[in-house]
Structure 1
Amino acid sequence: MEIGGNIIEKMEILNVARKEVKKVIVGQDRVLGRLLTCLICDAYILLDGVLVLAKTLMINTLASTIDAKFSRIQFTIL
């Protein structure tokens, strides 16, 4: 029973995080879902895309929502 309760609790936390990020970021549900999947799997994700997709804002908002540390690495392909 402990495992099931723990999963339900984690899902509720993820749903709250999703709702909070969606207050700031609109139209990026697929990316947000993948970010949350990587978060629960303790995996890395590389966000790549054109300018003005709010990639940094999305990660920063998610980090502040779950009270995590935010850091950013930027590089430019020549």
Structure 2
Amino acid sequence: MRRTADTPTPADPEAWNAYLAEGNAKQARKRVAVDVLLRDPAGRVLLVNPTYKPDWDMPGGMAEGSEPPERTVERELMEELGLRV
């Protein structure tokens, strides 16, 4: 889910929970999600600051249809960060 100007925020818990529930209801019953742990040679971990939820997180997201996890990783890194792996 992409956040827009009228997207609720966690500051309004009722609206935020309704927003999350609506997004979850649109997902397939069986879901596959990926999180990507990327480290550089110094051991630093890549984190993203998502616009659609609070707090920093690893890059990743939901698979589309019958998309395999490896392809989901590639797509999410390209969508979120413009990275090709």
TM-score > 0.5, shorter chain as reference: no
**TM-score after normalising by structure 1:** 0.38
**TM-score after normalising by structure 2:** 0.36
Give 1 or 2: higher strand fraction: 2
Q: Which has the higher contact order (CA 8 A, sep 6+)?
A: 1
